Structure 1
Amino acid sequence: MRKPPPAPAVRFRVDPAYVPADKAARRMGLTPDQFVECRRRLYARGFPVPDETTGLYDIEAIDRWRMRQRPDLYPEVQTAMPAVEPAPRTDWGARFADAEKTKGMGERFARAERTRRAKTRSGDDGRA
């Protein structure tokens, strides 16, 4: 039986894109306990929330948020256009329930229902 080839002597470091809360705290110069204490206030100021699946923080989003807090020091990070809010996240169960609800309604009614929901999400209720 042959031995597998030896591992190369040079290994490349791979920096993670997502980090746990204690690493996010260190990135902000806080202890994990301090981070837990002021997490709600940070979220209120637009601090990136952790990924809903993994619970990990996007390190680049943290850095960009931090730079946006000081436009006098980082003017290149400021956007000229207003930020577009992301579409609300729905899980597969909610999507399936919506599809089942509109399944028997007929195509015309389903199209009207989708239009109504899109207007509701955008804040346009159709009133003058």
Structure 2
Amino acid sequence: MTHAHPPQPSSVRFPVQPRLVPPIKAARYLHLTLAEFAEKLSALQMQGFPKACPITGNYDLVAIDAWQDKRSGLAGGAPSAQSSADIAKARLATLG
């Protein structure tokens, strides 16, 4: 049996906001260029920044928000105190 008319797509469309984003968008989310993001990534991860999905290589925006909320003291608890040694290690990691 053949159709006289092919099926028509639904006229109702819903925008989908991706949760996983590529590194360039994760960088922009942090107000960094891709080069700056790549340069600072190890220091960010030493501070608990979420790692990329091992399958897609994309970053979870919800996890980034949770990380930022925790650092800012918005996650229901006090921000974690950093020792001066941890701060120095993070800064040295950005130097390569």
Q: TM-score, normalised by structure 1?
A: 0.54
Q: CA deviation at 1:4?
A: 2.2
Match of 1:4 among 3, 6, 29: 6
Question: In angstroms, what is the RMSD of aligned CA positions?
Answer: 1.7
2:71 is aligned with what amino acid? Q
Matches within 5 A, 1:91-106: none
After the TM superposition, which parts of structure 1 deviate over 4 Å for at least 4 consecutive aligned residues?
A: none
Partner residue, 1:89: none
Match of 2:58 among 36, 56, 64: 56
Cα separation, 1, equivalents of 2:24 and 2:40: 13
Cα separation, 1, equivalents of 2:50 and 2:65: 10
Match of 1:68 among 64, 67, 70: 70
Instruction: Work out which structure has the larger RCO, using CA pairs closer than 8 Å and 6 or more positions apart in sequence.
Output: 2
Task: Indicate if the aligned counterparts of 2:70 and 2:77 stay in contact, CA closer than 8 A.
Answer: no
Cα separation, 2, equivalents of 1:70 and 1:18: 22
User: Is the partner of 2:72 in helix, strand or coil?
Assistant: coil
Larger radius of gyration: 1
Task: Indicate if the aligned counterparts of 2:19 and 2:61 stay in contact, CA closer than 8 A.
Answer: yes
Partner residue, 2:81: none
Partner residue, 2:76: 78
Percent identical among aligned pairs is 39
Partner residue, 2:20: 18
Q: CA deviation at 1:79?
A: 5.2
